[in-house]
Every structure is written in C-alpha cells, then in structure tokens.
Amino acid sequence: MGSVGVERRRRPPGAGPPGRGGAAGRRRGLWALTLLAVLVALVLVAAASVAVGARPIAPGVVFDAIFDPHGSADERLVRELRLPRTGLGIAAGAALGLAGALMQSLTRNPLADPGILGVNAGASAAVVVAIGFAGLQTFTGYVWFALAGAAAVAGLVHLLGAAGPGGATPVRLVLAGMAVAAALTALTSAVLLMRPEVFDAFRFWTVGSIAGRDASVLWQVLPFLTAGALLAAAVARPLDAMAIGEDGAAALGARVGATRVSGAAAVTLLCGAVTAAVGPIGFVGLAVPHLARALGGSAHHRVFGYSAALGALLLLSADVLGRWVARPAELEVGIVTAFLGAPALIVLTRRARRARQARS
C-alpha cells in the first residue's frame, strides 16, 4: 500500500495511467519513422525522375550536373528540363494531396477531391477562356483566371449540394461537382471549336502534364502554393475541434466561419495555381488523404503533412511511370493518375455505401 502511495505521489498531475505516455510516445515514433520512409521514397523517385526519359542519363552525369557542371549536353538537359520538371511534380503533387485532405475535412466527405467536385474543371475552363478570348499565353497572365474559376465553382458546387432537405450530403456534393464539371467540359470544347487557332496553346496542357515547363513556371507557382499551405496549416487545429461538431468547436473557442473561409481560400490557391501551371490532374487528392489517415491517424496536422508527402510521391511516380512504359515517347501524368485513380474511386465509393448501410 505504501509503495502505491509513493507511486501516486511521484506521478505528475494529469499524467494519466501508467504506460499511456509510453504508448503515445511509441505511436509518435512510428508516425515519424513512417513519414521518414515516405520522404526517402520521394528522394529515390526524384532521382529516377531526373535520370529516366527518352534519353537515359547516368547517375554520375546527374551528380555532375547538380554539383559540378561542365557544360555538356546531358548536363544542360538535366539542369534546364529535368530538374525543373521534377521540382514542379513535387510541388504540384504536394499541393493536390494537401488540397484533397483539406476538402475532405471541410466537407466531411470522403469522396471530396478537386477533380470530382469540379474545382479543377472550373480553373481549367477559366484558363481556356483566358487563352481563347484574352490571348493570354503565360502562367502569370492566366493564373488569376484559374484562381477565380476554382473559387467560383467551389462555391457553386456547395450551393447546389446544400439545396434541398438534408443539406450538403457527400453524395449530393459529388453529383453537383460532376454535373458542373461536365458543363464546364462542354464549355471548353465549345471554345476549342470557336477558336481552333489556339488549340496548340493548350492541347498538352488540358490533359495535365509537367513536361516542357521550365524553371520559371516553378518559381512563379511557388508563392501561391506556399500561401495555400500556410493557410492549411493555420486551420489544422480548428479542424480538429470541428471534428466533434460545429457547436462543440465554437464552445472550445474555434472560429468556425473563419476556419471555413480560410480553408476554402487555401483550396482555391492550391488547386487554381496547380491547374494553371500543369493543367487538370485528377484523383491525387482523392486517394492520398485516405492513405495519410491510415498512416498518421486523424489529427489534421499529421494528415496534412502525410498528404503533402504522399501526393508528391504519387504524382512524381506517375510521371516516371508514364515516361518508362511509353519510351521513347511518354504518357502524360494526368492520364496515368486517371488510370491509377479510377479503381481507387470505385473502392472508396463501395466503402462509403457499406458504411451508410451499416448505420441505417
């Protein structure tokens, strides 16, 4: 009895039962190791992205091109094309993964995705209109159209999904997003028919590709992606509180309205800027957050971190795969992610239906 009393006196207030802190520490260590493994895999895929292509380049040449350039043709290829392409793939994949996680948290919809909810289609249609009617040909010219299109469609889909009894259910949001995306795809086709002379300006862009972009595009898109990532980080803790319900979150001091506005602004910046830079790329934001939650738990700061790392890994891997399977040509990364993402959508839809049936 005395030893128990001594143990109780030595335990600091709020420490919880013995062993709980050790288990939490082990979980944090496991999460850190898993994230480190993802980052190591990303580094390896980035190295493959620089070396693999229509013209394979030896690792020694890649090393010299980065750290000790001599001005050879292969080194110029690495520095001027493949390194910017790899960096843009990492940035775009991280942004799409983060945007998908943020959309699923804000809408409480496991099927939310910038492509499925029409956000990418809104940005794409706006860029096509800018190219076809305003004559804009550069990222700095039409990125503002992309941001406006992404924001407008996000608001429209939410209004359509929230109409009627029951509010914005996951199924309604998906149906509204698909309907709006179909209408915007028709608009894009109409612009193509009306302005065939600008077809070459966006025929590769419209399928989603990181090929042919130089370093200037990467540096131009980074400020928008950085701003979106910072907004996402700022709303991570309030979203944790909102997971118990908006009333409970307000009681805990969370500003629900400001969190939703900030989250929507982050999604707009991330999706609009990526779409303007590389075109519409779907399904990255759909599957990645589910894997992130399986690896890192439900806390949003971990989900967002894992989603960014896994999104970069997935998109860059898809780009390398597209270059490898079709050598000396290549498959655009948007086509590869569509092949990979369609089965993921089917699995997630069936899982959501089984969950609804279990609750009913």
- What is the per-residue pLDDT for 334? 84
- What is the per-residue pLDDT for 350? 72
Nearest-angstrom CA–CA distance, 360 and 355: 9
Range of the domain at 297: 84-359
Residue 47 inside a domain? The answer is no
Count of the separate structural domains present in the chain: 1
Residue 52 inside a domain? The answer is no
Tokens of 329: 């040509």
**CATH number for the domain harbouring residue 121:** 1.10.3470.10
Instruction: Give the position of tokens 């506005």.
Output: 261
Give the model confidence (pLDDT) of 258-296 as tens digits. 888 898 899 999 999 998 888 888 888 888 998 898 888
- DSSP letter string over 291-326? HHHHHH-S-HHHHHHHHHHHHHHHHHHHHHHHHHHT
Residue 175 inside a domain? The answer is yes
Mean pLDDT of the chain: 81
7 pLDDT more than 50: no
Residue 54 inside a domain? The answer is no
Percent of the chain having pLDDT more than 70? Answer: 83
Higher-confidence residue: 46 or 340?
46
Give the model confidence (pLDDT) of 120-146 as tens digits. 888 888 888 888 888 777 788 888 998
pLDDT interval class at 93 (50, 70, 90): very high
Residue 315 inside a domain? The answer is yes
| Cα separation values, 295 from 21, 222, 229, Å | 20, 27, 20
Residue 74 inside a domain? The answer is no
pLDDT interval class at 11 (50, 70, 90): very low
128 close to 206: Cβ distance less than 8 angstroms: yes
Helix H segments across 163-255? 170-194, 199-202, 215-234, 236-242, 246-251
- DSSP letter string over 62-103? HHHHHHS----HHHHHIIIIIHHHHHHHHHHHHHHHHHHHHH
Residue 151 inside a domain? The answer is yes
Residue 275 inside a domain? The answer is yes
Higher-confidence residue: 109 or 310?
310
Residue at 334: amino acid letter: G
225 close to 91: Cβ distance less than 8 angstroms: yes
